[in-house]
Amino acid sequence: MKALKACCAAAYSSDVVGLLLGDSYHPGGTTLTRRLADALTLTPGRRVLDVASGRGTTAMLLAGAYDVRVDGVDYSAANTALAQEAARRAGLARTARFVTGDAEQLPCPDGEFDAVVCECALCTFPDKAEAATEFARVLRPGGRLGLTDVTVDPGRLPSEFTGLGAHIACIADARPLPEYTRILAAAGLRTLRTERHDQAMLRMIDQIEARLNLLRMTAPEKLAAGGIDLDAAPAVLSAARTAVAEGAIGYALIIAVKSS
């Protein structure tokens, strides 16, 4: 499990992933992050934990636009350093802070936060039940969890989405939406609201394809250095697009509450 976590963390802290995905590493980008924040009814001064905070995009958006105090936790020390520097440059160092840590063993006290957010990351955690238990532990009674994540119908996944590469792409161990809600319920988190955002997944695939084609012409050495297989990429993207269109892969928003 540690090897898988380390591999995923290394992949998502690499420069080539940033080139392909841009500032926001999940479908829907900051638009969906704002929808998630609005559904959490965040108010000024609240404490928010961003799990798998990456390079800090979500945490800084929440701190700046919603006037909340955000702690970000990411498995990658490289991402933590980049996020801290980005917050400093943005003048948000006091309200957006970042530490390196494991989502399945959060370095946070019990009942510390009014809200927890986790975007496009639970699907990559090897022990999802333990991560959900940790989300609940650090929430105060009545606190809310906001997730956006990849959903799959495991029996209909194309062969391109198996193995380590698919884990890094957030697909191989993603679950159907009802299974996510069952995992949360077992941790004491009652689902209040779910939304499908499958079109956001299609838009991200289109974005990756466009950026991949541009980099193929302008900077192929960067793709090669990042381990991108230029010959295989078109087939994988085509398979992903078909899988989304057929309902085998999707994207969802979930809001849950910790029992009082």
Domain boundaries, the chain: 2-100+108-255
Split at pLDDT 50, 70, 90, the class of 107 is very high
pLDDT confidence of residue 160: 66
Residue 8 has φ and ψ, to the nearest 5°, of -65, -45
Q: How far is CA 159 from CA 154, 163, 171, 177, 202, in A?
A: 11, 9, 12, 21, 19
pLDDT confidence of residue 7: 41
Q: What pairing do the DSSP bridges indicate for beta strands 189-196 and 47-51?
A: unpaired
Split at pLDDT 50, 70, 90, the class of 225 is low
Q: How far is CA 234 from CA 32, 150, 189, 237, in A?
A: 26, 21, 40, 5
Q: How far is CA 211 from CA 25, 26, 221, in A?
A: 14, 15, 14
Q: Are 239 and 249 a contacting pair, CB within 8 Å?
A: no
d(CA 49, CA 117): 6
d(CA 122, CA 128): 6
Q: For domain 2-100+108-255, is the CATH number 3.30.70.2700? A: no
Nearest to 150 by CA among 133, 129, 166: 166
Residue 11 has pLDDT above 60, yes or no: no
pLDDT over 90 for what percent of the chain?
A: 61
Mean pLDDT of 149-156: 88
125: left (phi over 0), alpha (psi -120 to 50) or beta: beta
- The predicted-structure confidence for 22-64, as pLDDT tens digits, reads as follows 566 678 899 999 999 999 999 999 999 999 999 999 999 999 9
pLDDT confidence of residue 36: 97
Mean pLDDT of 73-79: 94
pLDDT confidence of residue 18: 57
pLDDT over 70 for what percent of the chain?
A: 80
pLDDT confidence of residue 147: 97
Token reading at 138: 């650090």
pLDDT confidence of residue 177: 97
CB atoms within 10 A of CB 103: 24
Residue 231 has pLDDT above 80, yes or no: no
pLDDT confidence of residue 1: 53
Q: How far is CA 162 from CA 119, 130, 157, 159, 166, in A?
A: 21, 23, 8, 6, 5
Burial of 32 (0-12, 13-18, 19+ CB in 10 A): buried
pLDDT confidence of residue 149: 95
Give whichever of 2-6, 145-149, 205-209 has the largest mean pLDDT: 145-149
